[in-house]
Structure formats: structure tokens, C-alpha cells
Amino acid sequence: RLASSATDYLGKKVNAAIITIPSDFTDAQKDALNKAATEAGLEVLQFITEPVAALLAHDAKNNEESTKDKNVVVADIGGTRTDIALVASRGGMYTVLATAHDYELGGAQLDAALIDYAAKEFQKKNKTDPRTNERSLAKLKLEAEAVKKSLSLGASAAFSIESLSDGIDFSLTVNRTRYELLAGKVFGSFTRLIESAVQKAGLDNLEIDEILLSGGTSHTPKIASNVQSVFSESTIIAPSTNPAAVNPSELTVRGAAIQASLISEFEKEDVEQSTHPAVTVAPHLAKAIGVLVGDNEFVTLIDANTAVPVRRTAQLNAAEGDVLVKLCEGVSEIKVTKEEPAPKAEANGDDEDSDDDSDDEPEETREKVWKAGEVIAEAAVKDVKKGSKVEVQINVNADLSVQVIVREVGSKTGVRGTIEASA
């Protein structure tokens, strides 16, 4: 059906496809899907996971963001299940660090909250529960889904069902606040599942740069606002927070289409060779690498979980004269600072409420900071001119050996060195 629909739309035969799959698909499931596609007359060019497809579609629209180093949570919230993936994007290369799945959490649970509320309201007036009749329950499910979609756009929506049960018509208005209270536990479950994936990857919430909401249920504003309250430093990419966001319902298929356009000119054998595990499963840096120039702050050049080989170059301010450059492992930590409480006002003898705020806890501020860890190598640049900068270039090879070039910007000479990979 999908193949014929695409053929009718394009006006020419569609005989091959990129197919997206959940990140926990087994080889047996892939084989079964490949067999079904073959029987439908489709050649499967490649399977790609849904989180990677969604991120590819998002980055394709924002070209300037696609090559930045970032940690992205892709939350695929569908009708019957939710899949979370934490993806490290390094220079446009994606590495899945952790996943989390809930096969019973999705839009259907939000529908169920509205169904239960409407059924109870009907039962109060008519002394009969419409959920006990399959036909009545089917009507309720259909209307609840429509109400849910309306509440994603407006402040209120109405149930309107003709002959819901025993020939009795039913109408009920629900506002968004009521809906969010009814489904509060479900909304909380989405946020907790995202947090569990971050914890599974060994990261802190502050180390997440973007959260991309995918899937039809992501249109619900409350999901984005809940996540935003927990990941306050991150950019939540959803229709309710970013009007320019790609439609969540189309993210994965757009990503598959982009991938298809990229490989359509290649022969199947070339695609298979390029996607072979020997090629795609590249070694990654376990720790970040950065530099310390003189007494300046530590600067991270290559983040952890970056696939190698990789090259990074930076120009850094330096003091006049001889400058010592230290190549170090980068260590990130979460710095917690507490604001000093305001001095207490002197209490008057007749003021009974003067100590009401005495138990208030000082507010905490959390931020991610980088520090220089173990020193890997040192290099000295002599006679740096006043106002000049020092350029540092780091090349990490496939065998994890590191080549370093340090020189004054504009100078033709510099310091070069190679650090062999540790055993």
C-alpha cells in the first residue's frame, strides 16, 4: 500500500526505499521486515534507526547547527510506545550513547485519561457506564483522540457524541488545564523516561544541548513544558516551543528521504561496504581533549564520544613572550553554588510572623564547568608578540595516536609532536 501510494503520487514506479526502525530492533525483526518489503516489490537500500533519522531531518533544516558538537536527546513519542535515544553529534557524525523504551507509554494513555473522565461524567447523569459496551467505547476513543488533538492547539475542546449509550447523546467541554491534571501521571512518565536515558549514558541534565521531540504525540504542549522545566539549559525542539520546528510526525520520514537522496546514486554493493560494521563502528574518544595556554582558562577542543580520526584547530589569546601550552584531558563537573540568604530583619516584639521565612533554603545554581585533567603533553612557543594569538591544531588518528601542532598565528614555524596511543 505504501509503495503504490508513493508511486501514484510521484507518477513513476517506486521500487526501493530507506526504512526507519526502532533503535532496539533485532536482526530477526530486520529480516522479517526486509522479507515483507521484498514481497511488496521494494528493495531495502538501508535500515536506519528512527532517532538518527529524526536528527538528520532536524540538522538538514539547520545547516549551521549540524556540524556543532552537541549531545541530543531524541524522544520519539508515538501512539502506543515511547523510545528515547541519547545521541552524541560530533561534526555531523552520530553516535547513540544510550536508549530507553516504554512499550506501554504513548498517546493512547493520554486518550485513556480523557475517556475515563468523559465516561464518569456520563455515568453521573445517566447511571450507566459507556465503557462496558464495545460500540460506545469505540465512539469514546475516537472522540477522545479528536479532543486531545484540539487541546494541543486551543485552550478548550468539546466531546460531542450522538447516541453514546442507550440512545443518549453526550456533550462535554474540557479545558486544557483540566486535561493536564487528568493526565498528570502520564506526562510525568515521559519526563522520567528521558531522564533515565540521560542517567544511563552517565551524563548530567546540564550536559544535554538539545532535546528533539518526535512522533505525533509530541504536538502536546505539556510534554515540552514539563521537559523544559527539568532541562532548563537545553533547547527543547517542539512545535509549542519553536514554531520553525519540523513537524514531529514527519521527522523520521524526512530523515529517511534525505538519506535516500544521499545514497541513491550509489550501487548497492558500495552502500553495503560503506555501512558495514567494520566501517561504521569507529573507535571513539573516551575523554575530552583540550588545551591550557599560559594562565588562561582551559579550552575543550574535542569532546568525549567523538569518533576518530578527527581534527580540531583553535586560536587562543596568549601573553607576550614565551608561552607554555599544555595539552590535557578535559574533565567536566557540575558546579553547585548556593546564594547567600538575605540578612534577617530585626523582629519587633509584636510581629508574630517575623520568623515565617526563617526556614527558607538558599537557592542553588548548577552549571557545567570544564577543568584541565591529566596533562598529555606540553609545548613552548617562544617570543610571542604582544596581541598575537597561538594556534593549536590537534589530529587524533584512527589508532588513537595524537599529532599536535602549536605555533603563533602568522608564523611559518611552530612546534610539532606525536603522542602514541597508550596501551
**Above 90 in pLDDT, residue 86?**
yes
**Above 70 in pLDDT, residue 321?**
yes
Look-up of cell digits 509503495? 3
**Above 90 in pLDDT, residue 235?**
no
pLDDT tens per residue across span 241-269: 888 889 999 999 999 999 988 887 777 77
pLDDT at 350: 53
> What phi-psi label fits residue 305: left (phi over 0), alpha (psi between -120 and 50 degrees) or beta?
left
pLDDT at 351: 52
Region 185-192: mean pLDDT is 96
**Above 90 in pLDDT, residue 103?**
yes
C-alpha distances (whole Å) from 78 to each of 2, 84, 210, 375 are 19, 11, 20, 47
Q: What is the dihedral of CA 151, 155, 161, 162, to 10 degrees?
A: -140
Query: Which triple of cell numbers denotes residue 246?
Result: 519540523
pLDDT tens per residue across span 346-386: 555 555 554 555 556 667 777 778 888 888 888 888 888 88
**Above 60 in pLDDT, residue 279?**
no
C-alpha distances (whole Å) from 358 to each of 339, 340, 345 are 15, 13, 11
**Above 80 in pLDDT, residue 166?**
yes
> In this predicted structure, which of 27-41, 87-101, 161-175, 341-355 has the lowest mean pLDDT?
341-355
The upper half-sphere exposure of residue 44, i.e. CA atoms within 13 Å in the direction of its Cβ, equals: 17
Higher pLDDT, 141 or 295: 141
Region 185-201: mean pLDDT is 95
d(CA 22, CA 17) in angstroms, rounded, equals: 16
- Of these ranges, 62-76, 193-207, 278-292, 358-372, the one predicted with the greatest mean pLDDT is 193-207
Please choose, from the candidates 84, 23, 74, 330, the residue with its C-alpha nearest in 3D space to the C-alpha of residue 209: 74
Region 104-125: mean pLDDT is 95
Q: What is the dihedral of CA 348, 354, 355, 356, to 10 degrees?
A: 170
**Above 60 in pLDDT, residue 312?**
yes
**Above 90 in pLDDT, residue 83?**
yes
**Above 70 in pLDDT, residue 204?**
yes
pLDDT at 256: 93
**Above 70 in pLDDT, residue 64?**
no
Spatial strand order of the sheet with 364-384 comes to 299-302, 288-293, 321-338, 364-384
User: What does the mean pLDDT of the chain come to?
Assistant: 87
pLDDT at 361: 64
* Distance between first and last Cα of the chain: 55
**Above 70 in pLDDT, residue 423?**
no
pLDDT level of residue 280 (50, 70, 90 thresholds): low
Higher pLDDT, 118 or 267: 118
pLDDT at 32: 96
**Above 80 in pLDDT, residue 169?**
yes
| Residues paired with residue 158 on neighbouring β-strands, in sequence order | 173
Model confidence, pTM: 0.82
